[in-house]
Amino acid sequence: MIYAAIDIGSNTTRLLVGEPVEGQLKKVMEQRAYTRIGKAKGKDGLIPDDKTEEVAEVVETQVKLAEELGASAIRVVATAAIRDAPNGSDVAERISARAEAPVEIISEHADCLQVGARNIQNFQLLKEVGKTRKPVLLKRGMSTTIEEFLMSAEYVLSNGNHQVILCERGIRTFETATRNTLDLSAVPVLKEKTHLPVIVDPSHGTGHARYVMPMAYAAVAAGADGLMIEVHPRPEEALSDGPQSLRPNEFKHLMEGLRRIASAVDRDI
């Protein structure tokens, strides 16, 4: 089975096609078109008709290409450039009609916006999510210091969005036994330096389901305000990150253990 996603951004419209291989989503091909919607906007913030037609043509071409590659599911998403335009909904509808594929405006449906580790120093993106009024989950970068992590959060805060959650998800070290090195010392340090809630992702932090439970226990003991745990009914069939996903019964067992750990350190869950 092959899947495709088309991301209509401020600068590019990107097609990504992938197929699941051994629990991971392997990239089949990627194509970028420099459509530059953001630069085309007028002073009133409207997206011009000619730019809408240009983007619609690109999306239509990318949808056909994905179909030719055998994609059985194609998802088209639009981010800030279309979302924030006064005529954004109309633009999305026109692109959908031409490409014969629905365009989803992400933040209209999301309860929380996540900025992944690889975008933690994408300052233009951080400014844009700072202009929204949705909670923002910031994941620490693989080589990001705590000070740099906090400065990235400041880009969101300074643009008016104070609903920021910090997530420790492991950093890159010389160790190869785990996917990353989960830096649990960051939890008390961050809580000392900021008022923002701090959560931990032991799934990405270790990369192995068998290590998720002990690191989740340790995160609660360290003072984490929450946990991000990957769960899948059939991890061996997961499109991505299967090896680090817990089964539902394992997650239930984890929750029972977390309550005991929390009680031992005078915390509640």
pLDDT digits over 223-267, tens only? 999 999 999 999 988 877 889 999 999 999 999 999 999 999 999
> What is the C-alpha separation between 212 and 203, in angstroms, rounded?
6
What class has domain 1-109?
A: alpha beta
Is the separation of the CB atoms in 30 and 14 below 8 Å? yes
- Greatest extent of the chain over all pairs of C-alpha atoms, in Å: 63
Distance of CA 90 to the CA centre of its chain: 26
For the domain covering 110-269, report its CATH number. Answer: 3.20.20.70
Reported pTM: 0.73
Residue-averaged pLDDT of the chain: 92
Residue indicated by tokens 């933690």: 120
Lowest mean pLDDT among 81-95, 101-115, 136-150, 171-185: 101-115
* Distance separating the N- and C-terminal Cα atoms of the chain: 40
Residue 27 pLDDT class (50, 70, 90 cuts): confident
CATH 3.20.20.70 range(s) for the chain read 110-269
Residue 200 pLDDT class (50, 70, 90 cuts): very high
Distance of CA 238 to the CA centre of its chain: 17
Q: Is 165 helix (H, G, I), strand (E, B) or coil?
A: strand
Return the pLDDT at 15: 95
Is the separation of the CB atoms in 35 and 55 below 8 Å? yes
Lowest mean pLDDT among 73-87, 128-142, 160-174, 185-199: 73-87
> What is the C-alpha separation between 7 and 66, in angstroms, rounded?
13
Residue indicated by tokens 């097609």: 15
Taking residues 129-134, report their average pLDDT. Answer: 86
Residue 23 pLDDT class (50, 70, 90 cuts): low
What token pair was written down for 79? 């981010």
Does pLDDT of 80 surpass 80? no
Angle made by CA atoms 115, 120, 126, in degrees to the nearest 5: 70
Taking residues 67-95, report their average pLDDT. Answer: 90
Does pLDDT of 209 surpass 80? yes
pLDDT digits over 107-120, tens only? 767 789 999 998 89
Is the separation of the CB atoms in 181 and 170 below 8 Å? yes
> What is the C-alpha separation between 35 and 246, in angstroms, rounded?
40
Please indicate whether residue 103 or residue 108 has the higher confidence score (pLDDT).
103
CATH 3.30.420.40 range(s) for the chain read 1-109
Cα–Cα nearest to 156, from 110, 201, 122, 197: 122
Torsion angle, alpha carbons of 198, 204, 207, 213, to 10: 40
Cα–Cα nearest to 15, from 68, 61, 81: 61
What token pair was written down for 145? 């210091």
Lowest mean pLDDT among 14-23, 168-177, 195-204: 14-23
Q: Is 96 helix (H, G, I), strand (E, B) or coil?
A: helix
